[in-house]
Each structure stands twice: as C-alpha cells, then as structure tokens.
Structure 1
Amino acid sequence: MVPYLRTRHGAIALAHRGFSLDGRENSLAAFAAARALGLEHVETDAHATADGVAVALHDERLDRTTDATGLVAALPWDVVRRARIAGGEPVPRLDEVLGELPDLRVNVDVKSDDAVGPVVEAVQRTAAHDRVCLTSFSTRRRRRAVAVLGRPVATSAGQAEVVAFLAAVRAPRLPARTRAAAVRAALRHVDCIQVPERSGRLVVVDAATVAAAHAAGRQVHVWTVDDPADQGRLLDLGVDGLVTDRADVLRDVLRARGAWGGR
C-alpha cells in the first residue's frame, strides 16, 4: 500500500477543502483545523496563477470565496495573494499547505492543464510525494503530472477510468474472470477511485463496485458525505474513505464505531 493510503483510523477521513463552518474553505486555517480534529487527510483543488504559482483553491475565479474578483489563471500571484477568503484568510500556495503542515496528507485535484507544472513543482519543492494523492477529472492531465514527478505518488482515477470501471462491473454477460480482468485494466494506473455514491440516476457505489475495486487491490473513497447516517451506511458497505465537509461529524461517527485512532 502506498504511504498516502495508510491511516490509523478505521477509514480514511478526508476533510473537504479543510474544515471550516464559517466559509474559510481552502485556507491554511481550515487545513490546520482539520489536523487539530485529528484528521490525517485533507482535500483541495489546485489552480495556477498567470505567473505559474499553484494555489489551493476550488473555483477558477476568486469571486465566490474571497473579497477579490477575477480569473486566477489571468492574475499574477502578487494580486491573488492579497485576496482574503471569507474576508480574512489569504489564499494559500500549494507549497505552503504541504510545507507548513508536514504531517498532513493532501489530496490534490489538478483543475487545469496550466496547473500541472506548478503543482508538480510544489510537490517536488516540499518533497511531499508520500503525502500526496494526485487526481483530476482528466485522466490525461493526471498522467502528465505523474510522468514528470521525480518519485511516485498516490493516484486516483479520472472520469474515463471510472466509466471503464463501471462498465466492466455492470456488464451482465461477462464471465467473472473476464470482468475481473477488465476492472484491473480500467484501474491499472491508479491506487483508488474517488467518486460520489450516485451520479444522477446512476448508482456508482454499491456492494458490487466496492467488491470489484477491492478485488483489484484498489480503495474506494466517496464524496461528499456529511450526514452521519450516510457515513455509517457507507462504512458498513466497506468503503475505505469518506470525503466530508463535516470532519467533526465523521470523527464522531468513527469514534462511536471504535475506529478512531489517536486523538
């Protein structure tokens, strides 16, 4: 198992954009708050500024979460760094998140082609390879990032790989051995799949998909799950990790199940 996927808890608890109940998502304060709760993993998206600085931010624009406006990719870092999340917290560079919280494992969604180089540079500068999982909806983009890294990192499936995985699992007439081979082929370049439980009417996570991923030696992480009943139900199904905006709730669910290690 790659180092990123290890946890002292019964399942990987991923704090979605850190932990904040007052809008400070993707700030250093939010990531530190998740760590203070005892979580080992956080999730963030990464964009690049016009001058090639990787920033931890979900949106491609500053407008929704900060007191500034504009497209991140069109602005230099000197402008972006002055924006304040929820009016108070600066937008962090990705290397700040990795460097200032050295015991935190960070799931990084590379949101644009222009962000590939800056994300790779941030990982290499902080030697955070063992603490990073690289993912992207674009399989090509993730593979490009992994190809230029100096050392291996954990990886999560892109959209095309998830579609191929589900097609293999759901194929009704495939012999079991052929189905298993197709699942392994779909997930051969990744360590886990990170998916919603449902996408519209399509059920993505159920007993069959969890079993198929596990048989292929891959973990299943589900996003974004905030309700404690849903968290418990998915843990009972055997998923390996949950991405949540309510890290405090998930901690309590895992504690109640005797699956919370350490603090």
Structure 2
Amino acid sequence: MNREHQPHPYLGHRTPIPFAHRGGAAGGIENTAAAFRRAAGLGYRYFETDVHATADGRLVAFHDATLDRLTDAAGRIRDLPWSEVAEARVGGREPLPLFADLLAEFPAARWNVDVKAEAALLPLLGLIREADAWDRVCVGSFSEARVARAARLAGPRLATSYGVRGVLGLRLRSLGVPAFVRAGAVCAQVPVEHAGVRVADRRFFTWAHARGLQVHVWTVNDPDLMGALLDLGADGIMTDHLETLRSVFEARGVWH
C-alpha cells in the first residue's frame, strides 16, 4: 500500500474510533465538563469540541460564536472577557469550560478540536505546547487556510485534518479529477454528504486509505447509517447519540 503519511500517535487506537461529538450534544449540555464526564463514563476516549478565544485570550470550549443560543447570557465570545463568559450557563445550569481545564481533567482523552475563529489558533497551539499534548489533539477547521497555518506553525508533531477546501480536493482526486491537496494531514473528517452530493462513499474511503489517511464521518445519529458507514470502511464516527453509537459498535464487536 502506498503510504504518503506516517501514522501519528493521535491515531493510536484500534479503528473504528467512536467520537463523542461536543461530548454528546443530544443531552442538551454540549461542550461542557458535565457532557464530557458522561461520555467518559460511557467509555468514550475520543472527544470532539470547538474553541473560541475571549477578549482577553482565554480559550473556551464552545461551538457558537455567541452565547445567545445555548446559554442564559448573550454576546460575542470574542468581545467578552473570560470573567463574563464564565458566568454563562449552558442550559441554564452548566458553565462553559476552558479547554485547558478539559485537557487537565481528562488526561486519557484525545481531542478533535475545531478552531472556530482565527483568534483562537495561536492560544490553542500555545496550550498544546505548554501541556505537551501533541499526541492528544487533532486540529481541524472548516477553514483550510486556518488548519494549514496551524500545520505550518507547529510542524509534523501536530495532527491535523482537512478543511472544506481540502476535503473537496480529496473528493475530486478520488474521482480521478486533478486537484491540489495539502500534504501532512493525518485524517479526513467529512460529512456523509454536502449540498446533496455524497462524500463518504466506498470510492472516497478506498482512495484515502491507499494514501494512509483515516476517514472520520460526522455527525451520524442514525444506527442504520452508522452500520452502513462501518461497512464502507469508516475509521471513525462522530455522534451526538452516545448510547446509540456504542450499541452499534458493541453489536459488531468493535467497541474497545
């Protein structure tokens, strides 16, 4: 097999990998320490989260750019100091965590981190360096430019996935269409389909695997679709419904 990419320690888990998307967003307290504790209690060791930087540079694990939708507070995270963001409560009861605190609380966990804003990138790389968490974090973003910048700044010790433009390049190349694809990423994290066009099909998996790339599919909550993706060769599945994914994996004897 032609391996363009060397295995990264982040991927040191027997595949397929179950990912707790936002700690298990179906519970309504997504991206909180309570959500990740619940995921850990169910046996999950790979967590997906998102990061934003506050006005004073603190790195918060939270999906939205604003507090309005999910918390009892309001405002853009980038415009607020951590002292104000810390008062917000997800679902009216759970505080937003600092990503540094999550890294410390779950030392056995590996994190897939979606960098939601440019201002969060340097604080994230600084935290990974300070915590020596190179083997525990994979950096992704919808922005291919942002994740490519992370890879340039940190070098091969940092695991990265592809942004939207990178996934498009991979898809085109899997179909035999010439396209630029950044070297050095360790995985492709893709939706089942985008804009009505299938992405995660057998041809895509085969092409990616031949080049040493794992393929992780998001966000899958239907058990039949989970099974179909595993049959196609998915190396990881991200889900909001933690018990459902665990049951599918257990039924197939792949829950490790």
Check whether TM > 0.5: yes
- Runs of at least 5 residues in structure 2 that lack an aligned partner in the other structure: 1-6
1:219 alignment partner in structure 2: 214
Structure 2 residue 12 is matched with structure 1 residue 6: yes
1:46 alignment partner in structure 2: 51
Given the alignment, which residue of 130, 134, 138 partners 1:129?
134
2:249 alignment partner in structure 1: 254
Q: Do 1:7 and 1:40's aligned partners in 2 also have CA atoms closer than 8 Å? A: no
Residue 201 (structure 1) shift: 2.0
Structure 2 residue 200 is matched with structure 1 residue 205: yes
Q: Do 2:156 and 2:184's aligned partners in 1 also have CA atoms closer than 8 Å? A: no
SS of residue paired to 1:186: coil
Equivalent residues, number: 250
For residues 252 and 27 of structure 2, the distance between their equivalents in structure 1, rounded to whole angstroms, comes to 28
Structure 2 residue 79 is matched with structure 1 residue 74: yes
Percent same amino acid at aligned positions?
A: 45
1:47-126 → structure 2 map (5 Å cutoff): 47-126=52-131
- The root-mean-square deviation of aligned C-alpha atoms, in Å, is 1.6
Distance change in 2, residues 1:77/1:187 (3 Å): same
SS of residue paired to 1:253: helix
Residue 106 (structure 1) shift: 0.5
Residue 187 (structure 1) shift: 4.9
Q: Aligned AA for 1:252?
A: S
| CA offsets 1:168-221 (integer angstroms, 9 cap, x no match) | 1223xx6xxxx7xx6xx6252211110111112211011100000001110111
Structure 2 residue 224 is matched with structure 1 residue 229: yes
Q: Do 1:95 and 1:125's aligned partners in 2 also have CA atoms closer than 8 Å? A: no
2:4 alignment partner in structure 1: none
SS of residue paired to 1:249: helix
For residues 101 and 151 of structure 1, the distance between their equivalents in structure 2, rounded to whole angstroms, comes to 24
Q: Identify the range of structure 1 (124-133 vs 39-48) with the bigger mean alpha-carbon deviation.
A: 124-133
1:195 alignment partner in structure 2: 190
Q: Aligned AA for 1:4?
A: Y
Distance change in 2, residues 1:21/1:203 (3 Å): closer
For residues 124 and 146 of structure 1, the distance between their equivalents in structure 2, rounded to whole angstroms, comes to 13
Residue 21 (structure 1) shift: 4.1
Structure 2 residue 143 is matched with structure 1 residue 148: no
Residue 147 (structure 1) shift: 3.1
Q: Aligned AA for 2:35?
A: A
Question: What is the TM-score with the length of structure 2 in the denominator?
Answer: 0.93
Q: Aligned AA for 1:207?
A: R
Q: Aligned AA for 1:53?
A: R
Given the alignment, which residue of 167, 172, 190 partners 1:162?
167
2:27 alignment partner in structure 1: 22
Question: What is the TM-score with the length of structure 1 in the denominator?
Answer: 0.90
- Runs of at least 5 residues in structure 1 that lack an aligned partner in the other structure: none
For residues 23 and 213 of structure 1, the distance between their equivalents in structure 2, rounded to whole angstroms, comes to 34
Q: Aligned AA for 2:123?
A: P
Distance change in 2, residues 1:22/1:168 (3 Å): closer
